[in-house]
Structure 1
């Protein structure tokens, strides 16, 4: 069984939030931006972008299916 793009998009958004929280905690703990913090922010950015794209794709598919009926 395949996952819907909506479910995948939500998972990506949750991962983006999680990576953002980890980055904030890392800066708070160390007091400066290090390599690991930048890596977490980059991963969060990619996850947010992918999540938004997947959610938009889900609604685009639903719209096309509705027009066919």
Structure 2
């Protein structure tokens, strides 16, 4: 089984964060205060946070 480096996983999470941000912007029709938009924004935030933590881990290593 192949193991990825923290840098590879950080890039993956960063791209997923961009995707979820794009989807949340597209789902905001009249207002941003609907369930789907908020869930996508929360997922994007978690993905960006994970990407930052993995980048820090990569540079410490």
TM range (shorter): over 0.9
Which of structure 1's runs of 4+ aligned residues deviate more than 4 A?
none
The CA deviation string for residues 39-59 of structure 1, in whole angstroms up to 9 with x for no partner, is 000000000000010011011
Aligned residue pairs, count: 59
- The runs of 5 or more residues in structure 1 that have no matched partner are 62-69
Q: Unaligned 5+ residue runs, structure 2?
A: none
What TM-score comes out, normalization by structure 2 length? Answer: 0.92
Q: Return the alpha-carbon distance in structure 2 between the equivalents of residues 32 and 5 of structure 1.
A: 37
- The structure with the greater share of residues assigned to helix is 1
CA RMSD for the aligned pairs? Answer: 0.6
Task: With the length of structure 1 as denominator, give the TM-score of the two structures.
Answer: 0.82
